[in-house]
Amino acid sequence: MMPAAVPEGYFKFGEVAGIHGLRGDLKVRPLTAGSSALLDASSVYLQRGPGDALEARPVAVRRHKNQLLLRLEGFESIDAIQGLIGAEVWMALSELPEAPEEESYWFELEGLQVADRARGHIGTLEDVFTTAAHDIFVVRGPRGETLIPAVDPFIIEVDAEAGVLRVDLPEGLIPDETESS
Domain boundary among 44, 63, 95: 95
Q: Check: CB of residue 11 under 8 Å from CB of residue 105.
A: yes
* Boundary-marking domain end, from 95, 127, 156: 95
84 and 154 housed in the same domain:
no
Q: Could you tell me if residue 101 is inside a domain? A: no
Same domain, 78 and 138: no
The enclosing domain of 89 has a CATH number of 2.40.30.60
Domain hosting 157: range is 106-167
Question: What pLDDT does 27 receive?
Answer: 95
CATH of the domain at 117: 2.30.30.240
Whether the CB-CB separation of 92 and 57 falls below 8 Å is answered with no
Report yes or no on 174 lying in a domain. no
Residue 1 lies in a domain: no
Q: What pTM value is reported for the model?
A: 0.67
* Same-domain check for residues 17 and 69: yes
52 and 24 fall within a common domain: yes
**CB within 8 Å of 13: residues ≥ 6 apart:** 28, 30, 31, 35, 37, 38, 41, 44, 89, 90, 91
Whether 134 is covered by a domain: the verdict is: yes
Predicted local confidence at residue 126, as pLDDT: 92
pLDDT of residue 32: 75
Per-block average pLDDT, block size 10, for the chain (181 residues)? 73 92 89 79 91 91 90 90 93 82 76 93 89 88 92 90 93 67 41
Number of domains in the chain: 2
Instruction: State whether 80 and 153 are in the same domain.
Output: no
Greatest CA separation for the chain: 57
d(CA 85, CA 102): 34
Residue 52 inside a domain? The answer is: yes
